[in-house]
Each structure stands twice: as structure tokens, then as C-alpha cells.
Structure 1
Amino acid sequence: MKLTHLTFLFLLTTILACKQENKQLTRIEGKLLPITDSLELNKTIDSVIAPYRTHVNKDLDSVLAYAMDTYSKSDGELNTAIGNLFADAIFEQANPIFKSRTSKDIDIVLVNHGGIRAIISKGNVTKRTAYSIMPFENSLVVAALNGKQVKQLVDYLVRAKRAHPIFGLKLTVDADYNLKEALVNNQPIDTTKTYYVATNDYLYNGGDHMTFFKPNDSLYVLDYKIRNVLLDYFYKKDTINPSIDDRFIKLQE
């Protein structure tokens, strides 16, 4: 019996296919490589880096302002001194920029409690302080929200029961966290009105489950990093002395 060329190829393929084994991954092995400070210093490399390190540390330790006390984000239940400073600084620095571009004012500032990454210690406030508080590269945006969305924003804050930094809002809840009053610029929320809400790009894109920013009437990108907001704010302040106030309070029965 003679095999044609095609028949031979078919038989060869079939034989090879039968010999193939199904291989499955059964075990993964790894090795822990700890990173410690026990590595020997390379003096040559260190001598090259040293001048830059000295320059950077000198710049970071330059004094911008003086803090009258130590401020931490754990100092209050629904609003804190450092959180209020954070929100106030954003409004004070960003509103002139926003107004110059749009002829409108920012109505509300909202950033997240978790975004404050360090305390402000009593004494000198330096550039390093600003980098410690805000180590991220988040930038400011302003979203145009309707009144219904602002009510969703308020509902989020009431449910969260956290001292998220806010400006322009005044919220009051009872002892059981039922909303008693919500004001924007000391006025009740108007569902037919457009409000301009400053936040960071992380929250605008849904971070911390803040989904109420989208959709919106319009978005304004300020090209202004929040860390730079703090640096500029501290630079123009001789002394900082923020306080806990009544922007978000719980009534005591």
C-alpha cells in the first residue's frame, strides 16, 4: 500500500498529537528577599548623591509658617481642625483661579479624610510638612453639579460619619445621625441650581465610592496639585491656627 504525501502528513500529525501530554501547574515556589538597611554603603555612589541630598533636605526643611498647636485628623468626629484647614486652603487658593476663568465662585469644597496622611506638629511648618500631609499627585478639579447631586453628596457624608474636609456646606445631624439641616453658603439646597464643587481628580473619578460627581454639566481642570495648594497657603500665612467649628455637627440630646 502506497502512502500519498498528504496521507503521510496526516498520520504523522495524529501520532504526534497522541504523544502530547497535558501539563498543569501544580506548584509555585518563591523566595522572600527582605529589603533592609544592612546593605553596605557604596561610598562612590553616595559621594555623587550627597550634594543633591543636602540640597533637597535643605529645601524641604525651609520654614513656611508656624503652627500654634498640633493638629490631627483624629481630633474630631465630624469635622477636624486640620480637615477644615485643608478645605479652607483649597477654597482660598483655587477660587481666584476658577473665578478668573469662569466668572463664577466655588460653592463647595470636598476632599477625603483618608487623603490627609500626616499631622501638623506644633512649631515650624515646612515644605516637608506639606509633602507629608499630601504625598500624592492629586490635582484639583471643579465639577458643576445640580442640586439633586449635591443632596446625594450630603447623603454620602451623613452615611459616612467621617470628618471629610468640607467648605461651603453646613450640616447638622441628630444623635442618631438623621439629617436635620443642610445648607450651601447658608442657604437651603436648591434642586434647580448648579453648584460648583471643588474636589480632587481621585474622588471625581469615583474614589472612596463618591459616585455622585458623574454625570455633570461641566468639568473644569485647574492644573493645580493639592500639595501645591498647601505649599502656597502655608507660604502666605505667618501663623496657622485652625479650629473645629460648626460646619458638620451632631446634636446632643
Structure 2
Amino acid sequence: MNKPQFFILALCLFLLGSCQSYQHFVKEEGQYYPLNSQEHQQADSSIANIYSPYKKQLEAQMNEQIGQLSVDLIKEQPESNMGNFAADMVAIQAQAYTGKSIDFAVLNYGGLRLPSIPKGPLKKGKIYELMPFDNMIVVIEMKGSELRPLFEHICMKGGWPISSAVRMEIDDEFAPQNIRLEGQAIQADKKYRIATIDYLANGGDNCTFFKGKKRYETGKFLRDAAIEYISAQTAKGNSIKARKEGRISQKK
């Protein structure tokens, strides 16, 4: 279904949802004229006839099973298996789309819109619920000396989804400690590539540290990348699983 068809469907659903069986009145020059209930029902029927083919097509697409979850995905802070799954997926897909090595990926906590997804069959519609926004995956290039504000921001937000290359602790003042990338300290002069979404890369959620940096576009929506990744894993006979592993921890 293309975007114009989708918007027609959304409009029709809105109009149909707003229709009730009671009479409506139209005011003109101080007089009120009741609308005939039969006319109203005919209007409802006409709208239903318009959107019905699109509704069936959309339902078929959203009910398509694309994979199997072997564990419940739970959204938590400072780290969650849902966030780990999403960030790892972005790192893998961004590398495939750009052909460039990705040092790590990061997403904002609020960008994942479901508190949990139960294990079992995973349908395409559930990914649309999890990632409903039209966010594109992008890759930002930054020097190691420029990364500190990013990690400070993640800590101040209570922890964000981040890929498996990262290990860090949040201290009592919500500052980052013991940051490691692939087990190594950050090198100030080294260039790192960070996969994220264009909303953050454009400065959204107060991520001003991304603005003005070298950037690679993938042209892929986050949810489409997730669907492609899950479908590819399924084709290989793999179920989808993720776990917490101490990527971001609270310093004791």
C-alpha cells in the first residue's frame, strides 16, 4: 500500500469512528435542520465501501508473521533486552546499508513505544506499534574527544538503548564512568561511527552534540530495517532473542 492509500484509509477510519447513530443538526440563519438518520447511515455505508478494500489489505500485511520471539522483550532502564535488541539491529543494518564499519548504535528510550512484547509469533504489525515514527537510520562520524557529551546525555536520561560494543557505568550524580568500546578506552583522535536515527541526529531530544557532524544517510526507516532484520534471521532458521548483559549499569 502506498502512502496516499494509507492516508485515505486513515481519514476514512477517522470519519467513520466519529459517526454515531443519533441525529446531528446544522445551523443556518438561526434555524436548525435535523439530518435524516437514513441519510446518515447511507453516508456511513459509502465511507465503509471506500475504505474496506484498503482495510483488508492493511490487516493482511500487519498480521503477517515475520519471526518468532524466544523471550519476552521488556523495556527498562538503564538497560533492557528490548533496547539491546533494537540497538544491535540498528548497528547491524546500518553497516549493511552503508558498507561502513559501525562502532556502536544508540537510540532514545522514548522512541520504543511498547512496554513489552510477549514471546511467541512476531507479526509485522507489532513492529509498527513498537516503532511508529518515520525515523530514518543514519550514521554520524565523530572524534573520540567529542563523544563525552553523548554518554553524559545517556546517563542523565537514565540509560538509553545502546549496542553490544559499549560498556559503561552511571555514578550517583548520573555521570558516565568506565566507558569502554569493544573493551578499549575511547581514543581522543580516533574517528568513530555511530548509528542512530535522524530525529536524534538532527538534535532531537536535546542531542545537540550530533548536529553539524559528518553524516551518512541510509534511506531506511527504523521499522523497515527491523522487519528486514527479523525476516532475514527467520530465513536462516533463527528465532529472535535478547538479554541484558551489563552494557549500562548503576555504579555501586
Q: TM-score range by the shorter chain?
A: 0.7 to 0.9
Q: Give the Cα separation in 1 of the matches to 2:218 and 2:53.
A: 35
Residue 157 (structure 2) aligns with: 160
Q: Give the Cα separation in 1 of the matches to 2:176 and 2:210.
A: 21
Contact 1:151 1:189 in 2 (8 A): no
C-alpha distance after superposition, 1:198-229 (max 9, x if no partner): 1111101111101111332x211111110111
Q: Give the Cα separation in 2 of the matches to 1:155 and 1:176.
A: 10
Aligned CA distance change for structure 1 residues 158 and 44 (closer, same or farther; 3 Å): closer
TM-score, structure 2 as length reference: 0.77
For the pair shown, the structure with the greater C-alpha radius of gyration is 1
Q: Give the Cα separation in 1 of the matches to 2:191 and 2:62.
A: 40
Q: Percent identity?
A: 26
Contact 1:148 1:191 in 2 (8 A): yes
Matched letter for residue 185 of structure 1? E
Q: Give the Cα separation in 2 of the matches to 1:64 and 1:85.
A: 16
Residue 240 (structure 1) aligns with: 240
Report the aligned-residue RMSD: 1.9
Residue 117 (structure 1) aligns with: 113
Match of 2:192 among 190, 195, 210: 195
Aligned CA distance change for structure 1 residues 69 and 182 (closer, same or farther; 3 Å): same
Residue 183 (structure 1) aligns with: 180
Could you list the structure 1 runs, at least 4 aligned residues long, displaced by more than 6 angstroms after superposition.
none
Q: Give the Cα separation in 1 of the matches to 2:136 and 2:247.
A: 24
Match of 1:223 among 219, 224, 239: 219
Residue 48 (structure 1) aligns with: 50
Matched residue of 1:79: which SS? coil
Shift of 1:38: 2.5
Contact 2:140 2:195 in 1 (8 A): yes
Shift of 1:177: 4.1
Matched residue of 1:54: which SS? helix
Residue 85 (structure 1) aligns with: 85
2:55 maps to 1:73: no
Match of 1:141 among 120, 138, 161: 138
Give ranges in structure 1 of 5+ residues lacking alignment: 1-34
Matched residue of 1:137: which SS? coil
Q: Give the Cα separation in 2 of the matches to 1:54 and 1:178.
A: 50
Give ranges in structure 2 of 5+ residues lacking alignment: 1-16, 22-39
Matched letter for residue 53 of structure 1? K
2:148 maps to 1:151: yes
TM-score, structure 1 as length reference: 0.77
Matched letter for residue 200 of structure 2? L
Residue 204 (structure 1) aligns with: 201
